[in-house]
Amino acid sequence: MPETIGFIGLGIMGRPMAGNLLRAGYPVVAYNRSPEPLEQLTREGAQPARSAREVATRSDVTIMMLPDSPQVSEVMDEVLAGASPGQLVIDMSTISPLVARQLAERAREQGVEMLDAPVSGGDVGAQQGTLSIMVGGDQAAFDRARPILEALGKTIMHVGDSGAGQVVKACNQIVVAVTIEAVSEALVLGSKAGVDPACILDVLGGGLAGNRVMEVRRRNFLEHDFTPGFRIDLHHKDLNIALESGDAYGVPLPATGLVQRLMETLHARGQGGEDHSALLSLAEELAQHRIGHATPTLST
Ligand code: NAD
């Protein structure tokens, strides 16, 4: 008999992930703050609950997919109020590694195991069940979670003790953010100096400068299409997590700090809902040049 899975947080990521668990044959008890996605998932076969506490009471394993550390901490209070010893909680949200460690410690005091298991791969990965999942926590808890996570992702790695999954996710977000900024600056310089930006991406892609950002966001850069994808505001939150962790461990992260300020600027300009490739628009404004045009014009 498969374990009953509780699922809390049915947003862009959580709703399709919960759908994949249902399709893999797991009974799912679900809760979301706003009712619409819960109604949709109930039509797909999930059992609705009226609170996070009720989810924990009716499940063997509870998964959370919530925006940030405050929401996860708040929901965890409710989950622990409903959970019995021997339960497993898997937090798949992207939150602070320090908070993840504290929550796992609190859970353990109550006989509840907790894993941090943030993901990369975006909404498409969530829909197709091809997420990369980086897991921190106890080995036995990981072994128990593995078949469940296999319904959600393709690359599933146990990367260390509690909090380690969130540390690896922060590392991932640093590399993606700094790479988008580097590609944006290169495109603006090359284009303003008279070279076709598509040509720059082609040539750079064949050498040491080649990277997945240039492949996956190529069309966004060249067509100035900043429809998300991954929103500036969420990436800004993730860079704050990276910088807080840097403070805690004495790691300065200067390039991360710079890109965090640029994302802050985009948020203040009302572009927080755009894709993170919109960093290009700021690089263009600083240079007074829109890529792909011989004469300086501005998009904003
Ligand atoms: P989202 O805002 O679409 O979804 C969050 C859901 O949680 C919403 O449905 C909201 O109603 C619900 N919620 C909020 N507070 C709640 C509470 N107290 N109780 C119950 N439900 C509550 O966010 P998302 O894009 O699904 O992202 C979720 C997490 O995954 C974030 O930490 C994000 O950084 C991470 N992530 C997102 C992506 C992506 O591409 N969107 C990729 C990788 C990781």
Q: Does residue 22 sit in the same domain as residue 139?
A: yes
What pLDDT is attached to residue 64? Answer: 98
Note down the domain range covering 116: 5-161
Ranges of residues in the chain with a pLDDT under 50 are: 295-300
Active-site residues: which are they?
Answer: 169
What pLDDT is attached to residue 123? Answer: 86
Which residue, 135, 161, 187, sits at the end of a domain?
161
| Tens of pLDDT, residues 152-165 | 999 999 999 999 99
Does the Cβ of 34 fall within 6 Å of ligand 1? yes
CATH number for the domain including 198? 1.10.1040.10
Which residue, 145, 161, 177, sits at the end of a domain?
161
Nearest CA to ligand 1 atom 19: 33
The 3-state secondary structure of the chain reads: CCCCEEEECCCCCHHHHHHHHHHCCCCEEEECCCHHHHHHHHHCCCEECCCHHHHHHHCCEEEECCCCHHHHHHHHHHHHHHCCCCCEEEECCCCCHHHHHHHHHHHHHCCCEEEECCEECHHHHHHHCCEEEEEECCHHHHHHHHHHHHCCEEEEEEEECCCHHHHHHHHHHHHHHHHHHHHHHHHHHHHHCCCCHHHHHHHHHCCCCCCHHHHHCHHHHHHCCCCCCCEHHHHHHHHHHHHHHHHHHCCCCHHHHHHHHHHHHHHHCCCCCCEHHHHHHHHHHHHCCCCCCCCCCCCC
Q: Does residue 113 sit in the same domain as residue 17?
A: yes
Q: Does residue 153 sit in the same domain as residue 270?
A: no
The alpha carbon of 119 and the centre of ligand 1 are apart by a number of angstroms equal to 12
Which residue, 143, 161, 179, sits at the end of a domain?
161
To test the pocket of ligand 1, the residue of 99, 127, 231, 234 to mutate (highest count of ligand atoms within 8 Å of its CB) is: 234
| Tens of pLDDT, residues 174-207 | 999 999 999 999 999 999 999 999 999 999 999 9
Q: Does residue 36 sit in the same domain as residue 135?
A: yes
Q: Does residue 27 sit in the same domain as residue 147?
A: yes
The alpha carbon of 93 and the centre of ligand 1 are apart by a number of angstroms equal to 7
What pLDDT is attached to residue 296? Answer: 47
Q: Does residue 151 sit in the same domain as residue 239?
A: no
Which atom of ligand 1 approaches the CA of 10 most closely? 9
CATH number for the domain including 17? 3.40.50.720
Q: Does residue 193 sit in the same domain as residue 273?
A: yes
Number of domains forming the structure of the chain:
2
To test the pocket of ligand 1, the residue of 33, 176, 238 to mutate (highest count of ligand atoms within 8 Å of its CB) is: 33
Does the Cβ of 123 fall within 6 Å of ligand 1? yes
| Tens of pLDDT, residues 43-80 | 999 999 999 999 999 999 999 999 999 999 999 999 99
Q: Is there a domain that residue 145 lies in?
A: yes
Which atom of ligand 1 approaches the CA of 123 most closely? 40
